[in-house]
């Protein structure tokens, strides 16, 4: 049986091109088939977004990933504002059955108090841990992550993975969620995360590491030369 990598990707219509550019970057380098699930709010029929403090449309619905996968197997969740620079199979191969999730455990203070579209950018524990998650969807502790449960939880509870014990949270190498601008430029990063704003916005087109996104975007529109 051919293994298929399942990737749930955050989708916000205000930056829809970010989703398409990210998926382009994954497809063109992957050695395995990919099944993308765009986390578009209008497709989540069993979920009603009740939070009023969201900076994008998938800030809370990302925790539906195990539910969307019928609590079976593994899946990757990724914010849409990313670029993959290597074979996504390398990330897939880091699966660890003893963990409920694996994430990059960032420990930093943001350089910017505002990000794209004027959204407030606050510091908080485990900031950006949930922006790239390798989910063990069949882990029994995820069974509580139903649409109704998620709709009624705070951001603090969800983004800190509070339904899990610390031992359940595995660690990924930092190169798998390299924060552009927040971290120094790193050509060797495997996945670049434009957390402050993708270069699809004019304000971020000339920022650090923007060229990687812009080149991928060009290929998505025009193909390879």
At residue 118, the pLDDT reads 47
Spatial contact of 20 and 9, defined as CB atoms under 8 Å apart: no
At residue 106, the pLDDT reads 92
pLDDT digits (tens, 9 = 90+) for 105-128: 998 766 555 555 445 456 556 889
At residue 202, the pLDDT reads 83
Q: What is the CATH number of the domain that holds 83?
A: 3.90.550.10
Domain span holding position 128: 5-222
Q: How far is the C-alpha of 21 from the C-alpha of 28, rounded, in Å?
A: 11
- Structure token digits, residue 67: 């539910």
The secondary structure element, H or E, covering residue 74 is strand 74-78
Q: How far is the C-alpha of 113 from the C-alpha of 164, rounded, in Å?
A: 29
Of residues 91 and 208, more confidence is placed in 91
At residue 14, the pLDDT reads 86
User: Across-strand partners of 82?
Assistant: 193
Spatial contact of 69 and 134, defined as CB atoms under 8 Å apart: no
User: Across-strand partners of 38?
Assistant: 9
Domain count, the chain: 1
pLDDT digits (tens, 9 = 90+) for 161-217: 999 999 999 999 999 999 999 999 999 999 999 998 889 888 888 888 999 999 999
Q: What percent of the chain has pLDDT over 90?
A: 67
Spatial contact of 6 and 23, defined as CB atoms under 8 Å apart: no
What is the per-residue DSSP string for 173-207? -GGGGEEBTTB---TT-SEEE-TT--TTSGGGTTS
Q: How far is the C-alpha of 42 from the C-alpha of 17, rounded, in Å?
A: 17
Q: How far is the C-alpha of 25 from the C-alpha of 80, rounded, in Å?
A: 11
Q: SS3 of 171, please?
A: strand
Does the pLDDT of residue 103 top 60, yes or no?
Answer: yes
The beta-carbon contacts of 186-189 under 8 Å, at least 24 apart in sequence, are 189/85
pLDDT digits (tens, 9 = 90+) for 71-87: 999 999 999 999 999 99
Does the pLDDT of residue 129 top 50, yes or no?
Answer: yes
């Amino acid at each position: 049986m051919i293994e298929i990598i399942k990737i749930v990707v955050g989708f916000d219509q205000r930056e829809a091109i970010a989703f398409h550019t990210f998926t382009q970057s994954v497809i063109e380098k992957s050695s395995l088939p990919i099944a993308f699930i765009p986390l578009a709010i209008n497709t989540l029929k069993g979920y009603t977004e009740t939070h009023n403090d969201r900076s994008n449309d998938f800030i809370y619905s990302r925790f539906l990933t195990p539910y969307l996968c019928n609590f079976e197997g593994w899946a990757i969740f990724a914010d849409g504002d990313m670029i993959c620079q290597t074979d996504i199979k390398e990330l897939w191969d880091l699966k660890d059955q003893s963990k409920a999730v694996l994430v990059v455990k960032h420990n930093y203070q943001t350089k910017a108090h505002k990000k794209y579209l004027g959204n407030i950018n606050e510091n908080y524990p485990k900031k950006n841990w949930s922006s790239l998650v390798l989910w063990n969807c069949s882990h029994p502790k995820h069974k509580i992550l139903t649409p109704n449960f998620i709709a009624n939880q705070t951001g603090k509870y969800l983004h800190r993975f509070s339904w899990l014990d610390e031992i359940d949270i595995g660690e990924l190498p930092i190169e798998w969620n390299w924060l552009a601008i927040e971290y120094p430029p790193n050509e060797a990063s495997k996945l670049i995360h434009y957390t402050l704003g993708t270069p699809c916005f004019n304000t971020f087109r000339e920022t650090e590491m923007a060229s990687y996104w812009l080149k991928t975007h060009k290929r998505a529109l025009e193909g390879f030369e």
